[in-house]
Structure 1
Amino acid sequence: MAAGEPISPVIRVQREDFDSAAESRKLTQGRHDIGALVSFVGLCRDEAGILQALELEHYPGMAEAEMTRIGTLAIERFSLLGLTAIHRHGRIEPGEQIVLVIATATHRQAAFDGANLVMDFLKTSAPFWKKEHGKDGTAGDWVAAKDADDTARDRWISVLSGSGVTE
């Protein structure tokens, strides 16, 4: 993509794993206007050895639409030069990748802030649900949202409201 062209986020919801290095190359190949690339990979934890796997479900179509909305907010607010967000669904075992967010910008702070905003909104606004499966064979409850995630998202809402970009 040439400098000055409108940027659209690259959004995918998929069962299969992703290659973060390959996704980074796609965003930067042939680009000389990018001064920063920030990437975040969320991994499945074993929760102190008791978790066998997470089962992730999503609302097809709506999840991608919400991720696109969130990505577009980040691009507009931080003048990002590129953004990729990939979220997996299905059964994911400890150590496996769940989510990838890559933000590129002219300067590092915009890339950090853009990636951070996307993750904070993904945790609270995108229609994904997690169910824990224990090593003892039990299926736990669906994981409830955390207050800390709402607080992180709310911080961005106040930032966005002062910028002319609406949440």
Structure 2
Amino acid sequence: MNKLDTVRNLVKDFDSTSRLYQHLNKTTSYYGTDTLLTPAEIHAISLIASHSNINLSQLAELLSVTKGTATKSAQKLVKKEMIYKNFAKGSENIVELTLTDKGTIAAENHKTYVDYMEKQLIEIYYDISDQTTSDLVTINQRTTDFFNKLIRERESEVKK
């Protein structure tokens, strides 16, 4: 097999791996509770867990969504008994979010899962040579730069 064919196969494999990762990031899980959570929900729960008494505006900013979207997410999480919504002390319009016991369990199990995933990925890459590691970092950066360029081009095309 010549180099061009080898590179084409590598790109094809990268695409397959990327699709698997995208699929993984769309899957739901219980995270040790009796309630099925979407990736967006567990992400919000994790942010609430790591930011004591976060308000809706702060959550929206961290999620890169509108305050309205953050409010709807919070309402779903209240219904799922994952968080509490309460007015901040001394305020009648700032709503703070805190985890319920069930939300805390989900956040802790999600953290355990993320740590496990990181450990497994490190094991996959750990035994490769320093040169190969360096080459992969360079390839990843070049790929990221290329994808960002394509995104900017598409976004500027849409704005016209």
Q: Which TM-score bucket, shorter chain as reference?
A: under 0.3
- What's the TM-score once normalised by structure 2's chain length? 0.27
- Please identify which structure carries the higher helix content: 2
Q: Which has the higher relative contact order, 1 or 2, with Cα contacts under 8 A spaced 6 or more apart? A: 1
TM-score if structure 1 supplies the norm length? 0.26
Structure with the greater alpha carbon radius of gyration: 2
Q: Which has the higher strand share?
A: 1
